[in-house]
Structure 1
Amino acid sequence: MKEGVADLVSSSKGFSLSLLRCQESTSLGHSTLPDVVDATPDHAATLIKVEERLRDGRQSDDRPSELSKMTLAQMQDEKTCLQKALLYYESIHGRPNTRDTRELARPLYDRYRQVKRSVSRAQLRAKENVNELAPIFEHVAMDFTLASPQHRSSLTPDSLPTEQLLLCKEKLLQEQRRQSESLRSPDSDDEGQQDCGQEASLSDSSDVSKQSSTLGNLHSLPLHELKERRREAKDQKKKLRKSLRQFEERYEREHGHKLAKENRGSMEQNYLDYKHAKAKLRLLEALIAKKAPTDDEF
């Protein structure tokens, strides 16, 4: 009888000891679980980092944040940057699969979809505009004669191709310059001054013809050369805009008011070059949109 009781007491002590060990191992397992959870990457921190990179990229490329102020090339650059940002985010966290992660990443995905739709619409409009452009043939002489004042009022920007609109603007500016010079110079000027005026007008007309022939030759270029010309035109436009902005800021500091059009002086040619660069860039974007396939997929 005593031996049976002793066996029961020893077995109960062994059971309680094993139960205590199980509880200790369970508590240790629970204590290490938060460390694993804390090691998971933070979605919000990654999205903040992505937004900062996108903001810095817009500032370095001089690209506005509003889509309504972007050109087609700027919208395409914005779309590419957003694609890279989404790929970077998904390479760390994968596609958002919970309600919280979807809410966090929703602004980034919505921004990409909005830019993608805007690019598609802009490319469609550019293709429609290109179909309205009249081709310029190298072997056919172009007529640069100014229209009469009555007919000139009917030549709206919507009814003219890009090249012809640019040429009309250039010819109007040249006519205004010649009229202002003739009003300033007296009738008793010698023949040498008249010859100088004729040479200046001839040089202006030759510059216009060179610009028109340059724009006309763009139609025959392949796609890769058009993209290279677009890159050069963007660089030229950016440099001209920077120099004009610095000139206007310096003028405003010195005179206390903003620069007026009649006070441009020697910088007038730079303004004309800037307008020509913008028109050339618009034409290149239209030609690239016509020849390049539409990018509708991510």
Structure 2
Amino acid sequence: MDSEEACISPQVGGRLIRQLIEEDSDPMLSPRFHAYGHCQQYIDDTEVPPSPPNTHSFASRRRSSSLGSCGDDDQQELTSAQLSKKIHGLKRKIHKYEEKFEEERKYRPSHSDKADNPEVLKWMNELAKLRKDLKEHKLHKSEEDLPPLTRQRSNTLPKSFGSQLEKKPQQEKAPKPPVENTLEGVQNKLQEKRDEVGRPEDVKDMTREQIGAEKVALQKALLYYEGIHGRPVTKTERQIMKPLYDRYRLVKQILCRVSTIPVIASPSSKRRGPLSPSKNTTDMRLSNLHSATMPELVEQLQEAREEKKRIRKNLREFEDQFFRQNGRNVQKEDRSPLAVEYNEYKHIKAKLRLIEVLISKGDASKFP
């Protein structure tokens, strides 16, 4: 029994075996512990001033540096030129493969044909990645070239907590002049233009060309006013600007009406006489409205509205009957049976607009 048992020699086992046998002995220290203990003695010593935090984790630092040193070179950021060069190289490889494939099979390879080849698939994936990196690189570079944006104040915080950057443009902006001053300046400018070209102030004394020039001048004046104050919103602003807007509408309506009056007649029509006496009569009645009093204008307004309702009723009956018979709406060429009524309806609408403008102009003249 004793011969079968292996004899443990202290020389064979060494210190390791002796420490395993002796239960009360301390565990053997690793050789690395001596290097660690050299640093630990300064950590345990309360008389020594504290060292920086990086000396406390030298083991983890050595381990991380030894593991990550090999991948740092691969993660270097490539420049745009290097990315473009790699992209062109991969495109040349893929192009050569496509030419070879087309020579062998007599048709160009599809995307699935390229994906079946592992090497070409690797090129395609790498090409897509490089293109994405190049795009991000250019975008990042363009963002760096842009000037820094000013920080906007948060809407959820009081103004006292916001940035002071946005208050500077408000202080530099010039204050708006009063509406009365702007209107006075516009009217003076209009009068100066009239005096320069010899255009009368009363619209009734103007020719067709002068009415057109007056319309353009009024339009520019209103655009200048709206560029400063915007469209009149409050009741006070509308009341102040009402005469100028009414004059512009009146001039515009007169110009539209005058432009539809002239008709170039043929020589045969001149021999037969006037083409439409009713149109001349209507124009004379419209021109007489400017000299009418306010009660006469109100009476003319009521009569014109009744006349418009009557004509519109007849035209609507004709259009409904035409729709039932033909299954479509009335076109311009289908109005010949009621051409006179359509023309009269057009003139009565123009008359109504003119009367309404004259009445509003008369009401505005009552207020200073």
TM-score norm. by structure 1 comes to 0.38
Whose helix fraction is larger, Structure 1's or Structure 2's? 1
Larger Rg: 2
TM-score norm. by structure 2 comes to 0.31
